[in-house]
Chain A
Amino acid sequence: SQKIEQNSEALNIQEGKTATLTCNYTNYSPAYLQWYRQDPGRGPVFLLLIRENEKEKRKERLKVTFDTTLKQSLFHITASQPADSATYLCALGGYSTLTFGKGTMLLVSP
Chain B
Amino acid sequence: DGGITQSPKYLFRKEGQNVTLSCEQNLNHDAMYWYRQDPGQGLRLIYYSQIVNDFQKGDIAEGYSVSREKKESFPLTVTSAQKNPTAFYLCASSIGLLAGGPGHEQYFGPGTRLTVT
Q: Which residues of A contact B (CB under 8 A)?
A: 4, 8, 31-32, 34, 41-46, 49, 51, 89, 93-103
Q: Which of A4, A8, A44, A96 contacts B102 (CB 8 A)?
A: A96
Q: Which 10 A-B pairs have the closest CB atoms?
A: A43-B108, A46-B105, A100-B42, A100-B43, A102-B42, A32-B103, A44-B108, A95-B102, A43-B111, A43-B90
A97 touches B48 (CB 8 A): yes
A4 touches B42 (CB 8 A): yes
Quick one: closest B residue to A93, CB to CB? Answer: B103
Would you call B50 an interface residue if the criterion is a C-beta within 8 Å of the partner chain's C-beta atoms? yes
A103 touches B108 (CB 8 A): no
B39-51: contact bitstring with A at CB < 8 Å (1 yes, 0 no)? 0111111001010
Bound form: Cα–Cα A45–B4 in Å? 12
B103 touches A43 (CB 8 A): no
Would you call B109 an interface residue if the criterion is a C-beta within 8 Å of the partner chain's C-beta atoms? yes
Residue numbers in B under 8 Å from A96 (CB-CB): 31, 48, 50, 97, 102
Would you call B58 an interface residue if the criterion is a C-beta within 8 Å of the partner chain's C-beta atoms? yes
A46 touches B107 (CB 8 A): yes
Q: Which of B42, B50, B109 contacts A103 (CB 8 A)?
A: B42
